Amino acid sequence: MRTSPKQASLFARGASSLAARIFGGNCYLCRGESAGTLCAPCSAELPYLARPRCPSCSLPGSAETLCGRCLGDPPAFNATIAAFAYAFPADVLVQGLKFRSELALARVLANELVSAVQAAPPIPVDLIVPVPLHDARLRERGYNQSMEIARGIASRLGVPLAADAIARVRDTAAQLDLPLKARRENVRGAFSCRQGLDGKTIAVVDDVMTTGATLAEVAATLKKFGAARVVNWVVARTPAD
């Protein structure tokens, strides 16, 4: 069941209050006074994606037709919605959550991604699935940043969160360490489903989409186990390589 507007408002106020306690009433980015995680001037500097975008990969293009890349090499996923370009200061927020354990930022990023999803043409989804970390990486970091973002989105939208629907069964090298052409091979066969997904539409949540290789492999795995449609909900999209 979806959350009511009142529940969503309470969630947002609770997240803002938590962030204020953690960051001491200061903006996370400029450290000036702020009632929430970000002050108004810093919020205004966030690099929201300009439209139109390719509906499949969210790179610049037409909102109605696929870009040349997606036409020539169709990805396994069906659509992508992204909130920001991966640029300052959104990259600072993503990196703070991912590498510095600033877990309160997950709520901020979740709220921004919810706004992007709600502004896009509606795609009803049955389940929200975060891109998983391998167990070894999860033990090292202590949390999965995609899971933390997905948790906030599921709470806001009232869509079930299937945290364990897919597992990372190979501890692959970090994609950033690899040449672009090697990234598909790096994640090939890296995931496995843990439940049947017959006929369901799945929203896959991740922090950053670069080449889309990881998300394409996740989508292919979900469809192998019965998903009818897979859409990506990502916080930030990098420019074309």
pLDDT tens per residue, range 43-99: 999 999 988 999 999 999 887 889 999 999 999 999 999 999 999 999 999 999 999
Please check the confidence at residue 224 and state whether its pLDDT lies above 90. Answer: yes
State how far the alpha carbon of 79 is from the alpha carbons of 93, 122, 154, 219, 220, in Å.
24, 11, 19, 11, 13
What average pLDDT does the segment 24-28 reach?
86
Segment 129-168, tens digit of pLDDT: 999 999 999 999 999 999 999 999 999 999 999 999 999 9
Laid out side by side, the sheet with 79-85 consists of: 79-85, 229-237, 201-209, 127-130
Residues 6+ apart with CB under 8 A from 6: none
Q: Which residue has the tokens 């990486």?
A: 137
pLDDT for 24 equals: 65
- Predicted pLDDT of residue 22: 53
The mean pLDDT of 183-193, rounded to a whole number, is 88
| pLDDT value, residue 29 | 95
pLDDT tops 60 at residue 14:
no
What value does the mean pLDDT of the chain take? 88
Characterize the bridge pairing of strands 79-85 and 229-237.
parallel
Closest CA to 121 of 179, 187, 52, 185: 52
- 51-237: which CATH topology? Rossmann fold (3.40.50)
- For residue 103, give the nearest of 44, 172, 138, 152 by alpha carbon: 152
| pLDDT value at residue 197 | 95
Quick one: average pLDDT of 175-191?
81
C-alpha 43 chain-centroid distance: 19
List the domain boundaries for the chain.
1-45, 51-237
